[in-house]
Amino acid sequence: AAAESRATIKPINKAVVHRICAGQVILDLSSAVKELVENSLDAGATSIEIALKEYGEESFQVIDNGSGISPYNFKVLALKHHTSKLLDFRDLQLLTTFGFRGEALSSLCALGDLTVETRTKNEAVATHLTYDRSGVLTGERKTARQFGTTVTVKKLFSNLPVRCKEFRRNIRKEYGKLITLLNGCGSLRDNIVALFGMGTVSCLEPVTVCMSDGCLVEGFVSKSGYGSGRSMGDRQFFFVNGRPVDMPKVGKIVNELYRGANSRQYPIAIMNFTIPTQAYDVNVTPDKRKIFFSDESSILHSLREALENIYSPNQANYHINRVE
């Protein structure tokens, strides 16, 4: 004991270690917002809104219409290395693919003031939750909200003095970087890289279908050897003329053809349908996510042919124009 007390090498206080590690997960405003947006996508959100106060210096907020968080998870939500996305050891591969480390919320707690408002389909009202620096739940009250989750972070980096000064001085630059990330850099591929990382892109196959009537389908699907490995449809995003829509029939075709090549996983699919505006009607449901195409069957037919070419390439097909 005497020797120990005279040792000059001492353990660092746990809270300080947590803060330092958190600073390596959350580097700046855009990495913080990106983590929250990824959580919203993971929760199946089809609408994600981002609100900033003072360019994010005062606070930032990500509001989604995803699955919401079950009350059973309120206590463990922001604890370090707690995740709902790792089911067993085989899923460790996903850690590198999508970065499920169960670290984002716990890191944000360590670096700012985290509050969460959430409501699942099973709850009649939403709950407002507050967490302390170590991710321990400190407050819980009922509030009004639609289904989904809002995560708010106030005063990011306020307890890392050097980083905080830098953050405040560069806030316009940080904001610009965030806007670039959110807007993407132009191509769909660049946007996928920005959101999911290079590793994901290399597992995807480009799809392009040109149709004589001016319709164009562009996007990416999982190569037959790689899937998202999670539940059906959780990484499928469809857009018509750049706006997100539900396309269950398209999802069904992708899943069906992919299953013929790989029955162990589920495919990622991200596709934009460029369609002359007179050829579709978005005002079918109030949220405008349901779409009616005037010539749906021919679009679906051409898409099916293109996907057949990817998943069972011996079949001839004249509609395809694959680009690298």
Nearer to Mg ion, 102 or 219 (CB): 102
Q: In sequence order, which residues have a C-beta less than 8 Å from that of residue 305 and are 6 or more positions away?
A: 209, 315, 317, 319, 320
Decide if residue 105 touches ligand ADP (CB under 6 A): yes
The C-alpha atoms of residue 293 and residue 300 are separated, in whole angstroms, by 10
The one among 28, 61, 102, 304 contacting ligand ADP by CB under 6 A: 102
The one among 69, 78, 104, 221 contacting Mg ion by CB under 5 A: 104
- C-alpha triplet 120, 123, 128: angle, nearest 5°: 75
Least Å distance, CB 73 to ligand ADP, is 6
Least Å distance, CB 156 to ligand ADP, is 15
Least Å distance, CB 35 to Mg ion, is 5
Coarse DSSP helix, strand, coil percentages of the chain, rounded to the nearest 5 percent: 40, 20, 40
Nearer to ligand ADP, 132 or 296 (CB): 132
Q: Which does 149 bind (CB under 5 to 8 A by kind): ligand ADP, Mg ion, none?
A: ligand ADP
Nearer to Mg ion, 39 or 120 (CB): 39
Which segment (34-42, 155-163, 166-174, 232-240) binds ligand ADP by CB under 6 A? 34-42
Q: Which does 265 bind (CB under 5 to 8 A by kind): Mg ion, ligand ADP, none?
A: none
Q: Nearest to residue 219, comparing CAs of 144, 288, 307, 90?
A: 307
For residues 192 and 204, is the Cβ–Cβ distance under 8 A?
yes
Decide if residue 291 touches ligand ADP (CB under 6 A): no
> Distances in Å between the alpha carbon of 256 and those of 223, 237, 240?
14, 16, 22
Nearer to Mg ion, 39 or 228 (CB): 39
For residues 228 and 266, is the Cβ–Cβ distance under 8 A?
yes
The one among 56, 66, 227, 267 contacting ligand ADP by CB under 6 A: 66
Decide if residue 267 touches ligand ADP (CB under 6 A): no
The C-alpha atoms of residue 29 and residue 50 are separated, in whole angstroms, by 12
Decide if residue 64 touches ligand ADP (CB under 6 A): yes
Decide if residue 229 touches ligand ADP (CB under 6 A): no
Which segment (79-87, 137-145, 182-190, 316-324) binds ligand ADP by CB under 6 A? 79-87
Compose the 106-125 pattern: x for residues touching ligand ADP by CB under 6 A, - for all others: x-------------------
Beta bridge partners of 115: 130, 152
Side chain identity at 49, as an amino acid letter? E
Q: In sequence order, which residues have a C-beta less than 8 Å from that of residue 44 and are 6 or more positions away?
A: 66, 67, 234
Segment (H or E) for 302: helix 296-311
SS3 for 137? strand
Which residue ranges make up the site for ligand ADP (CB under 6 A)?
Answer: 35, 39-40, 43, 64, 66-67, 69, 77, 83-85, 100-106, 149
Which residue ranges make up the site for Mg ion (CB under 5 A)?
Answer: 39, 104
